[in-house]
Amino acid sequence: MTTQPATAADAASVAARRHFLMGTAALAGSAVLPLSATSTASAASAAPVAEAVASTAPAALARTGATDARLAQSARGMVTSPHELASEAGLEVLRAGGNAIEAAIAIGAVLSVTYPHFTGLGGDAFMVISDRDGNVRTFSGIGQAAAHTPAYGSATGSAIPVRGPGATLTTAATVAIWDKAFAFSRTQWNGQQAWSSLFSRATEYAANGFPVTPSQHFWQTFRAADLPNWDGFSSVFMPGGRIPAAGERFHQPALARSLDSIATHGGREFYEGDLAGRIAAGLKRVGSPLRASDLSRAQAREEVPLRVAYRDGELLGLRPPTQGVTTLEIMGILNRFDLKSMPEGSADYYHVLVEAVKLAFLDRNRYVADPDFVDVPVERLLSGANLDAHARSIRMDRAMPWPHVFRTGDTVYIGAADSQGNCVSMLQTVYFDWGSGVVLGDTGVLWHNRGASFSLDPASPNVLAGGKRPFHTLNPGMYLKQGRPQLLYGTQGADGQPQTLAAVLTRLIDYDMDPLTALRRPRFLLGKTFSDSRDSLKLEQDAGADVFTALAARGHEMSPLPPQSQLAGHPGAIRIDSQGQMSGAHDPRSDGRALGV
């Protein structure tokens, strides 16, 4: 159902935003007005990189972030995201009386502008939501493959491209998630914010510009050799034919107009309205197999979450084709070990986490795909018998071999909690950094490349088929204790997501660290990376030389990562105690921040 403005507040917001756009000349293709003084000051105040703390005694680590300004604290509401302007947009919604879903939508919309290398309107998204009493639902937004897919495979000698028009193989469901969640907010959480108002900051930053983040500059520079080959990319992301510098103001007037259309006409405008027609025309023009009929069939799904017991609580995640079951399986295996008997950050600690990851990844690669097309035995994978068997197979003195395929990808995490105890844990993505690289016509929309995660092997459960949803690495989650939300968490990082979450969750739950401390501790990544094609165990160097030596002695092929490496993910987390007091942080490796009301 299309979300139309339904109140006087909606109509007023539409008029105000339209006046704003006309005043900026965004509708004519340029943007000249300055941002507010508050927004400019906030954008300029980037958080410093956290110092290595590997040498700190474990007992002293639990609360080392307690006096750090980057650890947000509040009893009235909290948000976290990888960009401070996005977090501020969510905070504004909470302060205006909005709920956690409304705040998350506002954050997601801003990130689609200010973090374009990791998320956007042309990507997918997921939510885990709960009220104060632990009534949890999930929203899964995965674009399906075109009804008529290209003839990839042995017959043509081709493969699924990872960039360019051939990678624009699936529809995009981020806007569908916002639309469905907003409807839920109105009917179930008494949401009062105007749909259109949730896009005001995103439209402002697209029209008037925002300072380019170090992350955006890094990933655009990293891909500099490829950029000229991406349809429509340079005209949007390389003003004057060059990569904008970090801190330089960057404008996206075409995207501002697309956001304005969605804000004015509702979420289904992206799939069935005039904007959808322009998107479909842009896709057809570059040679994508997607058509207007494919866009009109894109929908978000509301589902019951998967669950697994962990310590004295319960972890919840999304159903396949996401790897939510994989993170839960890892944690279910670790629940069979007495982690508190192992010093946090020791070789034993990293070893048992890595071995649990390997076992769960083997199951994931064997089974996880679209359950509309194949049977995915989630109950068996999360059964006590399977978790027990996997735990028994782990040898503390010897590492399993690991020659398996690594999946890349980039994402943004959004967390929000309001004063009524409602919570949202959310991820948005365009898959690879910069997605397919294709910008569609005059829409300013960068399309994702999630279809590249399909297999062409007929024996694979994830084999490409028309209308099928691809395997998805995204899996935001939630931890309930005594039936109520205690932790909201998620991260970017594709294959790294379950690995990062295993480290973050064990530090938050088993070692009782505050979110900031848990997020800045050294992390690992098993498998290939952009800079290292070996299937080795990457570990941040501040884990300590003795840990590297001990892990190598057990058979792990070790590769060092710099401390606070970008390859270690950008997780965020919010903790809610039994009295409703909240503490939260976003990874110091990112450009983001948690903010409390």
What are the pLDDT digits (tens) for 9-64?
A: 444 443 443 333 323 222 222 222 222 333 333 333 322 222 333 334 444 556 55
Eight-state DSSP code of residue 65: T
Angstrom CA distances, 496 to 65, 107, 327, stand at 24, 23, 11
pLDDT digits (tens, 9 = 90+) for 116-164: 999 999 999 999 999 999 999 999 999 999 999 988 755 445 789 999 9
Q: Is the pLDDT of residue 577 over 60?
A: yes
Eight-state DSSP code of residue 139: E
Q: Is the pLDDT of residue 535 over 70?
A: yes
pLDDT number for residue 37: 30
Q: Is the pLDDT of residue 454 over 60?
A: yes
The mean pLDDT of 170-192, rounded to a whole number, is: 98
Ordered by start, the domain boundaries in the chain are 82-306+403-460+472-596
pLDDT band, residue 405 (cuts 50/70/90): low
Structure tokens given for 468: 């099928």
Q: Are strands 558-561 and 72-74 parallel, antiparallel or unpaired?
A: unpaired
**Range of weakest confidence among 39-48, 316-325, 381-390, 461-470:** 39-48
Select the highest-mean-pLDDT range: 151-165, 236-250, 396-410.
Answer: 236-250
User: Rounded to whole angstroms, how far apart are CA atoms 311 and 217?
Assistant: 41
The mean pLDDT of 68-84, rounded to a whole number, is: 94
Contacts of 332 (CB under 8 A, 6+ apart): 308, 309, 310, 382, 387
Q: Is the pLDDT of residue 6 over 80?
A: no
pLDDT band, residue 533 (cuts 50/70/90): low
Q: Annotated catalytic sites, by residue?
A: 411
Fold observed for domain 82-306+403-460+472-596: Glutamine Phosphoribosylpyrophosphate, subunit 1, domain 1 (3.60.20)
Residue bearing the bigger pLDDT, 406 or 391? 391
The residues with which 125 forms a beta bridge, in sequence order, are: 141, 428
**For 325-418, where are the E strands, in sequence order?**
410-418
**For 369-465, where are the E strands, in sequence order?**
410-418, 423-431, 439-440, 445-446
pLDDT number for residue 19: 38
Radius of gyration for the chain, computed over Cα atoms and rounded to the nearest angstrom:
22
Helix (H, G, I), strand (E, B) or coil at 190: coil
Distance of CA 450 to the CA centre of its chain: 13
Go through 320-359 and write b for each residue having 16 or more CB atoms within 10 A of its CB, e for each that does not.
bbbbbbbbbbbbbbbbbbebeebebbbbbbbbbbbbbbbb
User: Rounded to whole angstroms, how far apart are CA atoms 172 and 436?
Assistant: 12
